Amino acid sequence: MRIVILNGPNLNLLGRRQPDIYGYETLADVEERCRRLAGELGVEIEFHQSNAEHAIIDAIHDARETADGLIINPAAFTHTSVAIMDALKTFEGPIVEVHISNVHQREAFRHHSYVSLVATAVLAGFGTNGYLLALRHVAHVLQRDQG
């Protein structure tokens, strides 16, 4: 089983950008924790980050052919990208949307998510542990569905 984990704009600055909101853990730290958990769960992961909307869309298109599940932290594209939503509609496996902060406690424009319209599940406000919760969930769903 393969799970793709996609990260949107500015997450390359995780740990250095607004640590009061996002914490001090870097995206490399998150990736390392996800890889460790994936090994325990018996799944493979691909981990990507891009500040470019088209690169995220291309990664979703690629995942259609290579992945069984998808985890996405679309960051600011959450609230703006119909194109990412449309790309996600073409993915047939489970999709979990992850947000490090609780977006519902923040500015009003952050309360709407195009991605949530197609996501199987949404995690917000769990910090970077949300990635691990999402990974456990997707692995569970895939293992359950394989019988």
Q: Mind telling me the catalytic residues?
A: 22, 99
Please check if 73 is assigned to a binding site. yes
Please check if 129 is assigned to a binding site. no
Please check if 113 is assigned to a binding site. no
Please check if 79 is assigned to a binding site. yes
Please check if 110 is assigned to a binding site. yes
**DSSP collapsed to 3 states, the chain:** CEEEEEECCCHHHCCCCCHHHHCCCCHHHHHHHHHHHHHHHCCEEEEEECCCHHHHHHHHHHHHHHCCEEEEECHHHHHCCHHHHHHHHCCCCCEEEEECCCHHHCCHHHHCCCHHHCCCEEEECCCCHHHHHHHHHHHHHHHHHHC
Give me Rg for the CA atoms of the chain.
14
Please check if 58 is assigned to a binding site. no
- The annotated binding site for substrate is made up of 73, 79, 86, 100-101, 110
- The annotated binding site is made up of 73, 79, 86, 100-101, 110
